Amino acid sequence: MITYFIKIFIFSCILLSTTQFFAQGNFTGFIEPDFSINYDISKNYSHNFSIANRIYFYKDNDYNVEVRQLDFKHFSNFKLKYNQSVAFGIQYRFRETFEKNKNNELRFTEQYNFTHKPSNVRYGHRLRAEQRIARNLTTHRFRYRFAADMPLMGTILDTGEPYFIASTESLLSVAKGYKPSYDQRFTSSIGFVLTENTKLQAGLEYRFENYNIETTQNLFILTSLSLSL
């Protein structure tokens, strides 16, 4: 367990130390807290409601705290098998309130998720299609994420114990009149099972956006609190 924490700590320090280096280019830093509620309707059908706030902490080569947007999301999840599910989501992003030259956004999401667990490590594959609708532009985005998670104490995750998640995600965005753009994301997080129905998670995400056109690089400091009812 100590070895895992050391590796995660080193990885986090490396990511954080790159902020000054990338500040010479197209680099932005964000803090993004998230709160979600999961509610089971039946054995195979559940809802997820969440709210997330994205905040600048580094922008235009300067450190400054400034709210960028506020997101409200809902997902309906349907379990096909014990390790497969589909989901449909709707999201509204409030951005005009915080940045006058930007537009609010309505987003629809279709998702397929598949997991397998050959050992104490669980692997997950997620496919998503999104329709991002703004005032004068509709963008279609296609996403694939590969993730792995595991308990950090023993082989089974129990209440009061930590776990680790790492993932990478590829994204393709297409819109009429614009060249297709590609993104790549890398994420690592540590979570804690606080109670049977409560999880707390914190981590880092690094994004390379529009790397086939003009690469911008973003660092996210992520925190998440999840409740299951």
Per DSSP bridges, beta strands 122-133 and 138-151 are antiparallel
Asked if 104 and 94 touch (Cβ cutoff 8 Å), the reply is yes
Which pair of structure tokens corresponds to residue 207? 């994004």
Number of domains in the chain: 1
Condensed to tens digits (0 to 9), the pLDDT of residues 4-60 reads 444 554 455 555 555 444 545 689 999 999 999 999 999 999 999 999 999 999 998
One-letter amino acid for residue 46 of the chain: S
User: Is residue 137 helix, strand or coil?
Assistant: coil
Determine what percent of the chain falls in helix, strand and coil, rounding each to the nearest 5. Answer: 10, 65, 25
Q: Give the residue numbers spanning the domain of 180.
A: 2-228
Which pair of structure tokens corresponds to residue 228? 């299951």
What are the residues facing 75 on neighbouring strands?
48, 89
Q: How many CB atoms lie within 10 A of CB 97?
A: 11
Query: What CATH number should be reported for the domain holding residue 16?
Result: 2.40.160
Condensed to tens digits (0 to 9), the pLDDT of residues 135-154 reads 999 999 999 999 999 999 88
Q: What is the pLDDT of residue 154?
A: 82
Condensed to tens digits (0 to 9), the pLDDT of residues 84-122 reads 999 999 999 999 999 989 999 999 999 999 999 998 899
**183 CB-side CA count, 13 A:** 19
